[in-house]
Amino acid sequence: MDDFPEKDTFQDYRGKEVTFTYHLLDAGNIYSLRAVEVTRRRHPRTFCVYDEASPFNALWKMRQRIPQELNKRYFAEEKGRPFSRLNFDHFRGNIAFDHETGEACLVVDGKTMDMRDLGELLATYEGRHVEVRISEEAFER
């Protein structure tokens, strides 16, 4: 598709420009659009949206979602602790695999959260309930 963009650049909460490349899949009955952050970090942020009617509808959804997520910080930072305190009662990110450690990890706020970080976070909420939801697309609000 010649007129479909290969990438877009957005601004995050710090005013930094963040570029994402697009990977469009036409599955015949649905269009899947994945955006992958262009970065030197091992684990880029990724987003995925779908649309049944048009790849440009999927692009519109993606262009709405990325700026919202780039301008949301799920965690406050303290020196040396990138995941010190939740800013909300939830957080979202991407599941990734760290080939250096051989373990799964999460990418939240553009930073890698290993299982130790997750364990430390969960320990502060001992006794409370948790819900884990794994999805391809943004949650419906």
Each residue of 30-70: pLDDT tens digit? 999 999 999 998 899 999 999 999 999 999 999 999 999 99
Mean pLDDT over 89-118 rounds to 92
Domain membership of residue 42 (yes or no) is yes
Please report the pLDDT score of residue 133 as a whole number.
Answer: 85
Percent of the chain, pLDDT > 90? 68
Residue 65 and residue 17 share a domain: yes
Residue 97 and residue 59 share a domain: no
Please report the pLDDT score of residue 107 as a whole number.
Answer: 92
Of residues 30 and 138, more confidence is placed in: 30
Residue 64 and residue 37 share a domain: yes
Of 29, 31, 24, 28, give the one whose Cα is nearest residue 8: 24
At residue 140, does pLDDT exceed 50?
Answer: no
At residue 86, does pLDDT exceed 60?
Answer: yes
Residue 89 and residue 58 share a domain: no
Percent of the chain, pLDDT > 70? 96
Domain membership of residue 137 (yes or no) is no
Neighbours of 29 (CB within 10 A): 6
Mean pLDDT over 121-139 rounds to 82
pTM: 0.80
Domain of 87? 75-123
Domain membership of residue 86 (yes or no) is yes
Residue 100, token pair as written in the block: 């250096």
Neighbours of 108 (CB within 10 A): 21
For the sheet containing 94-98, what is the strand order? 94-98, 103-108, 111-113
At residue 1, does pLDDT exceed 50?
Answer: yes
Q: Judge whether 18 and 11 are in contact, CB under 8 Å.
A: yes
CA 23/CA 26 separation, integer angstroms? 10
Domain membership of residue 134 (yes or no) is no
At residue 106, does pLDDT exceed 90?
Answer: yes
At residue 7, does pLDDT exceed 90?
Answer: yes
